[in-house]
Amino acid sequence: MAKLKISGPWTGVLDVELDNWTVVMLREEIARRSNCGVESINLISGGRILKDGDGSEKLVHLGLKNNSRILARRVAAEEGKALKNELMAEEERSSRLARVKAAATALAERHANGFLPVEDFNMELEDQSGQKVNFGSETDQKAIMMGLMLHANAKQLIRKGNYKDALEVLVMGEEAFTLCNPKLIEFVDNVSILQIDMVWCYFMLKDIKWLSDAGLRLAKAREGIERAHGKDSSRVRILQAGCHPELALHLRLELLEGVAAYHSCRFDKSREAINSARAKYFQLQVSDKALSHVMDMGFKEKEAKRALRMCYQDVCKAVDFLFEERTRRERKREEDVRRQEEIMEQKLYGMTPSKKAVNLQILEKLASIGYEKELAAEALRRNENDIQKALDDLISPESNSVIQNAVESRKRKRQRKRADDAVDKLVCMGFDKTRAEAAFEAGGSLEQAVIILSDPGTNSTVDGQPDSVNAALTSEGASSSLSNIAENQEMLDTLDDEGGPSIGEEDRDLEMEDELARELNGATAVSDYDMDVTKEGEAITEYLGLLDSMMNSENA
């Protein structure tokens, strides 16, 4: 037994078993001795509030020991409920942030290193022109993917006005980027934009204690943007065919530089930066006439405004920009469909011993010189995509025979799995299992089996099989071929042992992973520059007013 010294509405010493007692039990005991409700007791030890948690954590795990002092503070019932709700909200917030980080880590881990994708999509890095790029090692790829996912999540939070959580996620994104080789991200602007977004959160939270940190971050951001965009944004201008997508970003940067200078009492610097931001703000205002012209071409108001802002109000350039963007989206959709088909095909071939997917480009080379695709895929799978070793196995009669047996064995397992699943579904529909098995064997698919079983003629049987089943066997020559990827989707989690571990659902946070994936889906080369500048306009007016007021008071 340990002794806890209690002070507050009830003062005394409690004998407790630290290994068995929880905060809930301690609160209830103190409330009972104080003759008040449990919700009205707030416990503080070592300067921190003792939280109930899930009710299972023991006092010893919270750092309490013999002769520890506990302050029991009595609060009003309403205050107690508010405090409890606040603590619950904070715990929920902390839990969500932890889930975001864990999901981003898991997604990056799977998509950065060539592992066989669990999902039907694959995350790939692109440059500003939309071309796929590979950044350094697997560690670098993972770090960049994590940073981009977390940054995208933070942007959603910023749009919702949740700046506190956004800042927390941005810090995690910054940590992820630091894991990458600095030389590899020196000429991309993602890290610089993240820095600007962090300072924007400082500003929107009105948190003056971050002032010195804000100045350092803005200086790094400007240096990084000038390096990535080129002098006077020349590199961006070339990539974006003469458009000015970065104007809103520079507006926000200059505004924040002006705000930081103002609070550092560098008023001339502040006015210069904010006036420059103001000029860009006016450049970004879209006239009703120009907007009407673009919308007459069949575009929606939101996309028309965005295009006009990025094209200096030039209607012709804005329309060209939107048509080109539409073409890019269509190409992206086609590429996504093609990639999904490739992933489904890769899943059929199984994983290499190190859990990598079969390299389809190498597979095509082997298929082009006459090897059967499934046979070549199995050879590559066994040899970690080493084309020379795979060729050696395919040329060797003994190795080739082993590979053929493995391929046939996998086909048979898939066929059995497909048949068993279909029969189970038919039984759930109310059909007899024996008749369901015969019908599926005859029809070759679930749909055909249902048609056969629903035919009144199946009531009579010949040699244990329905008459209509026999007819189907002779007239249609039922096929159980598994070459169609769409038909195989339900069997992809049943690869045999030689194919590596099964592609089942691991312990994943599907909800959070889907949220992160949705936030990245549809992003384009100009997404980071697409921002509403209404709040920036309000801040420009506010700080120019403050500067004018200060100047007038000095003149007076």
Residue 175 confidence (pLDDT): 92
Mean pLDDT of all residues in the chain?
79
Q: Quick one: how far is CA 123 from the chain centroid?
A: 10
pLDDT (average), residues 165-192: 87
Three-class secondary structure of residue 357 per DSSP: strand
How deeply is 279 buried, as exposed, middle or buried, from its count of CB atoms within 10 A (0-12, 13-18, 19+)?
Answer: exposed
Residue 495 confidence (pLDDT): 43
Number of residues assigned to the chain: 556
Confidence of residue 490 (pLDDT cuts 50, 70, 90): very low
- Residue whose structure tokens are 């940073």: 147
Residue 461 confidence (pLDDT): 42
pLDDT exceeds cutoff 50 at 485: no
Higher pLDDT, 378 or 441: 378
Residue 266 confidence (pLDDT): 92
Residue 385 confidence (pLDDT): 92
Confidence of residue 182 (pLDDT cuts 50, 70, 90): confident
Confidence of residue 462 (pLDDT cuts 50, 70, 90): very low
Residue 120 confidence (pLDDT): 53
pLDDT exceeds cutoff 50 at 41: yes
Q: Give residue-wise pLDDT tens across range 258-301.
A: 999 999 889 999 999 999 999 999 988 989 999 999 999 889 99
Three-class secondary structure of residue 14 per DSSP: strand
pLDDT exceeds cutoff 70 at 214: yes
Strands of the 48-49 sheet, one edge to the other: 12-16, 2-7, 68-74, 41-45, 48-49
pLDDT exceeds cutoff 60 at 475: no
**CA distance to 120, 346, 531, per residue, from 503 (Å):** 12, 11, 40
pLDDT exceeds cutoff 90 at 138: no
Judged by average pLDDT, the poorest of 166-170, 182-186, 304-308 is: 182-186
Ranked by mean pLDDT, the top range of 36-45, 220-229, 458-467 is 220-229
pLDDT (average), residues 527-546: 88
Higher pLDDT, 476 or 518: 518
pLDDT exceeds cutoff 90 at 167: yes
Integer Cα distance of 211 and 183 in angstroms: 28
Confidence of residue 233 (pLDDT cuts 50, 70, 90): low
Instruction: Give kind and range of the element (H or E) at residue 461.
Output: strand 461-462
**CATH tag, 2-75:** 3.10.20.90
Choose among 68, 26, 28: nearest CA to 45.
Answer: 68
Judged by average pLDDT, the poorest of 160-169, 213-222, 223-232 is: 223-232
pLDDT exceeds cutoff 70 at 55: yes
pLDDT (average), residues 77-86: 57
Confidence of residue 27 (pLDDT cuts 50, 70, 90): confident
What percent of the chain stands above pLDDT 90?
25
Tokens linked to 476: 């249609």
pLDDT exceeds cutoff 50 at 501: no
pLDDT exceeds cutoff 80 at 417: yes
Q: Give residue-wise pLDDT tens across range 426-448.
A: 888 888 888 888 888 888 888 88
Q: Give residue-wise pLDDT tens across range 341-363.
A: 888 888 888 888 888 889 889 99
Pair type for strands 68-74 and 2-7: parallel
Residue 155: how many CB atoms within 10 A of its CB?
22
Higher pLDDT, 47 or 463: 47
Residue 38 confidence (pLDDT): 80
Confidence of residue 80 (pLDDT cuts 50, 70, 90): low
Residue 489 confidence (pLDDT): 41
Residue 215 identity: G
Judged by average pLDDT, the poorest of 375-389, 422-436, 523-537 is: 523-537
pLDDT exceeds cutoff 80 at 473: no
Residue 553's region, left for phi above 0, alpha for psi from -120 to 50, else beta, is: alpha
Integer Cα distance of 147 and 154 in angstroms: 10
Higher pLDDT, 164 or 107: 164
Q: What are phi and psi of 48, to 5 degrees?
A: -130, 150
Judged by average pLDDT, the poorest of 37-51, 325-339, 410-424 is: 37-51
Confidence of residue 506 (pLDDT cuts 50, 70, 90): low
**What residue ranges do the domains of the chain occupy?**
2-75, 89-240+509-538
**C-beta pairs of 34-40 under 8 Å, 24+ apart in sequence:** 34/8, 34/9, 34/10, 34/72, 34/74, 36/9, 36/74, 37/77, 37/80, 39/77, 39/80, 39/81, 39/84, 40/74, 40/75, 40/76, 40/77, 40/80
Higher pLDDT, 505 or 180: 180
8 Å CB contact between 28 and 16: no
Integer Cα distance of 371 and 365 in angstroms: 9
